[in-house]
Amino acid sequence: MMLTEDTMLPDALLPLAAFKAHLHLGTGFAETSLQDELLTGFLRAAMAAIEARIGKILLERDFTLTLARWSSATAQPLPVAPVQLVAAIVLRDSESGETSVPPAQWRLEPDMQRPMVRAAGGALPTVPPGGSAVLRFRAGVAADWQGLPPDLAQAVLMLAAHFYEYRQETGLGSGCMPFGVTSLIERYRGLRLSLGLRAQGRTP
């Protein structure tokens, strides 16, 4: 399975002014824009870190998922959420020839945790030997920054500020995320259901 991001989020959609206000940076001076590139980079890094932690895309972008085989004959989970639409499904043969799968043969099952593409009836079309199935879709919680839930927006600003304030530190552990940020994003993380020892009738 390979997931690729087809559209890069434009700088104009990033909350640069809100981030500067969060950092209490001065405005109205000639030097105001000198750190814009640096600040934009920290915003992108914060968004990427939070998206990876919660398994959800914050601002809408287009993606392509390439699979050697379906997860099951009747349904294919999508690796990120929420998915707004599936634009196309294509079957690619071993010589890179492509055949579009008619939309009447499948449907998107939206879900905030585990969206799926399901066969409209029977099974999904067979992936050619040595080929792949290619799904092109759009995912994201909101189309723009103003549409994000306030807690997710605040988490991005807090984490970007953390990256900015500790930008010279090399001793921070991998995956380090401030407690305030983890508290804000916790409810957006996917549920992990499994059978524990007690649930299986055993005790530690």
Amino acid at 20: K
Sign of the CA dihedral with 70 first, then 114, 119, and 94 last: negative
Residue 172: is its pLDDT beyond 60?
Answer: no
Residue 25: is its pLDDT beyond 80?
Answer: no
Cα distance between residue 74 and residue 160, in whole Å? 41
Measuring CA to CA, which residue among 128, 2, 133 is closest to residue 75? 133
3-state secondary structure of 136: strand
Residue 28: is its pLDDT beyond 90?
Answer: no
Q: Which range is least confidently modeled, 12-16, 124-128, 173-177?
A: 173-177
Neighbours of 203 (CB within 10 A): 6
Residue 171: is its pLDDT beyond 90?
Answer: no
Measuring CA to CA, which residue among 149, 161, 163 is closest to residue 54? 149
Average the pLDDT over 27-32 and give the result. Answer: 50
Between 177 and 88, the more confident residue is 88
Residue 30: is its pLDDT beyond 80?
Answer: no
Read off the pLDDT band of 200 (50, 70, 90).
very low
| Structure confidence at residue 31 (pLDDT) | 55
**pLDDT tens-digit profile of 59-110?**
999 999 999 999 999 999 999 999 999 999 999 999 989 999 999 999 999 9
